[in-house]
A and B are shown apart, each in its own frame.
Chain A
């Protein structure tokens, strides 16, 4: 069974840092593009970042560029999101999700499955 489990969320002060992790299982992790998508509770979905299978190609939304960094450790089947200079508007549930429907050198810009999410709250 394909599973994605996020961790690392919590309360952090504005300007602070946090690193999210996403443990993957049930598939060949290194084959797939992976993404982070966030959702303010009660609001819509926002794409954050993507990374290719070997970690050499990354992209970030303009709203987080220069502050967030996506990375992966294929030996540990784990995806990361390093978040620096956090702002109140970064408060959200962060989901890790896999590119869908298949793997390869090109991403599809569609997402499934999704983890259960981890809540990040930026507040003083």
Chain B
């Protein structure tokens, strides 16, 4: 299966942005979705796991959700800061434990 993400999104500081991740086959609810942030020149870090869980140290401005009707997951970042500018990747897996990452979304905070 594939995970489709928009190539890029942009928004102003203080605003809210939503990044989508649509699963091509199989139910989005069948396997957990994770989200990773990758700043330029750095390794990824996890910001959401198990669909909507936030690791310690991740600001509560980051939240995750899934929508079975659209077979998609979403990462919402509210109160945007310039430091949120990064690439964001969704990730999930299937019943055979094949791990799949989305193609990534470049978030620009204007």
Query: Which of A59, A110, A111 touches B50 (beta carbons < 8 Å)?
Result: A110
Contact A44 B102 (CB under 8 A): yes
How many A-B residue pairs lie within 8 Å, measured between CB atoms?
Answer: 61
Q: Which residues of chain B are near A116, meaning CB under 8 Å?
A: 42-43
Q: How big is chain B's contact interface, by range? A: 20 to 34
- Write out, one digit per residue, whether chain B residues 75-100 have a CB within 8 A of any chain A CB (1) or not (0): 00000000000000101110001111
**Contact size range, A:** 20 to 34
Is B103 at the interface (CB under 8 A from chain A)?
Answer: yes
Q: Could you tell me if A110 and B49 are in contact, using CB atoms closer than 8 angstroms?
A: yes
Q: Which of B31-47 contact A (CB under 8 A)?
A: 31-32, 34, 36, 42-46
Given the interface contacts A112-B45, A116-B43, does A46 sit within 8 Å of B101 by beta carbon?
yes
1/0 contact string of A44-73 vs chain B (CB within 8 Å) = 111100000000000101000000000000
Q: Does A28 reach chain B (CB closer than 8 Å)?
A: no
B50 engages A44 (CB within 8 Å): no
Q: Which residue of B lies closest to A46 (CB)?
A: B101
B59 on interface, CB distance cutoff 8 Å: no
Chain A residue with the shortest CB-CB distance to B48: A110
Residue B6 at the chain A interface, CB threshold 8 Å: no
Could you say which residues of chain B place their CB within 8 Å of the CB of A108? 32, 49
- Assess whether A44 is in contact with B103, with CB atoms less than 8 Å apart: yes
Smallest Cβ-Cβ distance to A113: which chain B residue: B45
Q: Mark B29-72, 1 if CB is under 8 A from A, else 0.
A: 00110101000001111100110010100000000000000000
Say how far B81's CB is from chain A's closest CB, in angstroms. Answer: 21
Name A residues whose Cβ lies closer than 8 Å to a Cβ of B.
44-47, 59, 61, 95, 100-101, 107-117
Besides A109-B32, A112-B55, 19 more A-B contacts (Cβ < 8 Å) are A44-B89, A44-B101, A44-B102, A44-B103, A45-B101, A47-B100, A59-B97, A61-B99, A95-B43, A100-B46, A100-B49, A107-B97, A108-B32, A109-B91, A109-B92, A109-B97, A111-B34, A114-B43, A117-B43
